[in-house]
Amino acid sequence: MIQSPAIKIFLNEVGELSRFTGRFFNQCFKPRYEFKEFIRQCFVIGYRSLPLVALTAFILGLVLTMQLRPSMVDYGVESQIPVIVGIAIIREIGPVITALIFAGKIGSSIGAELGSMKVTEQIDAMEVSGTNPFKYLAVTRIIAATVMLPVLVILGNAISLYGSYLGVNMQSTTSFSLFWTQVFDSLSFSDVVPSFVKSFFFGFAVGIIGCYKGYNSNKGTEGVGHSANSAVVVSSVMIFIIDLLAVQVTQALGLN
Amino acid sequence: MIADIKQGAVKENIFSDEKILVIKHLYKAFGNYQVLIDFNLEVSKGESVVVLGKSGSGKSVLIKCIIGLLKPDSGTIEMLGENIGDLDNEELDKIRAKAGFLFQSNALYDSMTVRENLEFPLRRHWIEVSQNEIDLMVTEALEDVGLVHTIDMMPAALSGGMRKRIALARTLILKPDIILYDEPTTGLDPMTGKEIIDLMMGIKKKYNTTSLIISHDMNCVKHAGDRVVILLEGRCYADGTYEALKQHPDLKVKQFFE
Ligand SMILES: Nc1ncnc2c1ncn2[C@@H]1O[C@H](COP(=O)(O)OP(=O)(O)OP(=O)(O)O)[C@@H](O)[C@H]1O
Ligand SMILES: [Mg+2]
Report the separation in Å between the CA atom of B198 and the middle of ligand 2, taken as the mean of its atom positions.
21
Nearest-angstrom CA–CA distance, B58 and B183: 12
Q: Do A122 and B107 touch (CB under 8 A)?
A: yes
CA distances from residue A129 to B102, B119, B208 in whole angstroms, order as listed: 12, 10, 22
Considering the entire predicted model, what is its pTM? 0.89
Amino acid B70: pLDDT: 93
For residue B214, the ligand 1 atom closest to its alpha carbon is: 22
Residue B62 CB partners (closer than 8 Å, separation 6+):
B26, B36, B39, B51, B214, B231
Over the stretch A13-49, which tens digit does the pLDDT of each residue have? 999 999 999 999 999 888 888 999 999 999 999 999 9
Shortest-distance Cα residue to atom 31 of ligand 1: B56
pLDDT at B13: 53
Confidence of residue B4 (pLDDT cuts 50, 70, 90): very low
The partner residue sitting opposite B105, judged by closest CB among A120, A127, A132, is A120
Interface with chain A: mutation pick from B93, B98, B181, highest number of A CBs within 10 Å: B93
> Is B164 contained in some domain?
yes
Which amino acid would we find at residue A169?
Answer: N
What distance in Å separates the CA atoms of residue A39 and residue A192, rounded to the nearest whole number? 27
Q: Quote the mean pLDDT of chain B.
A: 89
Per-residue pLDDT band for A244 (boundaries 50, 70, 90) equals very high
CA distance B33 to B203: 37
Chain B contacts of A120, Cβ < 8 Å?
A: 105-107, 110
Calpha distance A201→A213 (Å, rounded): 18
| Inter-chain touch A129–B120, beta carbons under 8 Å | yes
- Is B105 within 8 Å of A121 when comparing Cβ atoms? yes
The answer on pLDDT for B7 being more than 50 is: no
Pick A162 or B18 by higher pLDDT: A162
Each residue of A129-144: pLDDT tens digit?
989 999 999 999 999 9
> Are the CB atoms for A250 and A188 separated by under 8 Å?
no
Q: For residue B59, give the ligand 1 atom closest to its CA.
A: 21
- Candidates B63, B67, B92, B103: best to mutate against A (most CBs of A within 10 A) is B103
Report d(CA A126, CA A130) in Å as an integer: 7
Quote the CA–CA distance of A156 and A55 in Å, as a whole number.
Answer: 9
Provide the shortest C-alpha distance from residue B8 to chain A (in Å): 34
Instruction: Kindly state the average pLDDT of the residues B92-111.
Output: 93
Nearest residue of chain B to residue A136 (CA atoms): B124
Task: Give me the percent of chain A exceeding a pLDDT of 70.
Answer: 98
Q: What is the pLDDT of residue A1?
A: 58
Residue B80 maps to a domain: no
Give the pLDDT score at A202: 97
- Domain-located, residue B72: no
Cβ < 6 Å from ligand 1: which residues? B 30, 35, 53, 55-61, 104, 183
What ipTM does this complex have? 0.88
Residues of B in contact with A127 (CB under 8 A): 69
Read off the pLDDT of each residue in A235-247 and give the average, rounded to a whole number.
Answer: 95
- What 3-state class would DSSP assign to B24? strand
pLDDT tens-digit readout, A168-192: 998 888 888 999 999 999 888 888 9
- Could you tell me the pLDDT band of residue B9, with boundaries at 50, 70 and 90? very low
Mean pLDDT computed over B45-69? 92
- CATH number, domain of B240, equals 3.40.50.300
Per-residue pLDDT, B113: 96
In a domain, B66, yes or no: no
Beta strands, E only, chain B: 19-30, 33-44, 48-52, 74-79, 82-83, 99-102, 178-182, 210-215, 227-232, 235-240
- pLDDT value at position B5? 43
What is the spatial distance between Cα A29 and Cα A32, in angstroms, rounded to a whole number? 9
Confidence grade of residue B10 (pLDDT, cut at 50, 70, 90): very low
Evaluate the CA torsion angle B83, B85, B88, B89 in order and state its sign. positive
Nearest CA to ligand 1 atom 7: B30
When pLDDT is cut at 50, 70 and 90, the band that residue B250 belongs to is confident
Q: How far apart are CA B37 and CA B233, in angstroms?
A: 8
Which residue among A116, A121, A130 places its CB closest to the CB of B103?
Answer: A121
Q: How far does chain A reach from its first CA to its final CA, in angstroms?
A: 42
Measured between beta carbons, the chain B residues lying within 8 angstroms of A122 are 107-110
pLDDT of amino acid B2: 42
Residue B176 lies in a domain: yes
Residue pair A61/A85 in contact (Cβ under 8 Å)? The answer is yes
B26-44 pLDDT, tens digit per residue, is: 999 999 999 999 999 999 9
What is the number of alpha carbons within 13 Å of residue B218 lying toward its C-beta? 9
Q: Count structural domains, chain B.
A: 1
**Chain B residues interacting with chain A (CB cutoff of 8 angstroms):** 64, 67, 69, 89, 93, 96-97, 99, 101, 103-111, 120-121, 124-126
Rounded Cα–Cα distance for residues B157 and B144 (Å): 20
Mean pLDDT of B39-63: 92
Q: In the predicted model, what is the mean pLDDT of residues B126-137? A: 86
Is any Cβ of chain B less than 8 angstroms from the Cβ of A44?
no
Express each pLDDT in A47-81 by its tens digit: 999 999 999 999 999 999 999 999 999 998 888 99
ω into residue B235 within 30 of 0, thus cis? no
Cα A3 to Cα A66: distance, rounded to the nearest angstrom: 51
In a domain, B102, yes or no: yes
What is the phi-psi region of residue B75: left when phi exceeds 0, alpha when psi lies from -120 to 50, beta otherwise?
Answer: left
Torsion angles phi and psi, residue B184, rounded to 5? -70, -20
Residue B55, domain member (yes or no): yes
Q: In 3D, which of A175, A159, A132 has the Cα closest to residue A37?
A: A132
- Residue length, chain B? 258
CA dihedral A125, A128, A130, A132 (to 10 degrees): 70
Confidence of residue B14 (pLDDT cuts 50, 70, 90): low
Find the helix packing angle between B131-144 and B114-124, rounded to 10°: 120
Interface of A with B in 87-116 (CB under 8 A): 113, 116
Phi and psi torsions of B210, nearest 5°:
-85, 145
Range of the domain at B52: 2-18+46-60+86-225+236-257
Find the mean pLDDT for residues A99-118.
96
Which has the minimum average pLDDT: A12-16, B9-13, B163-167, B245-249? B9-13
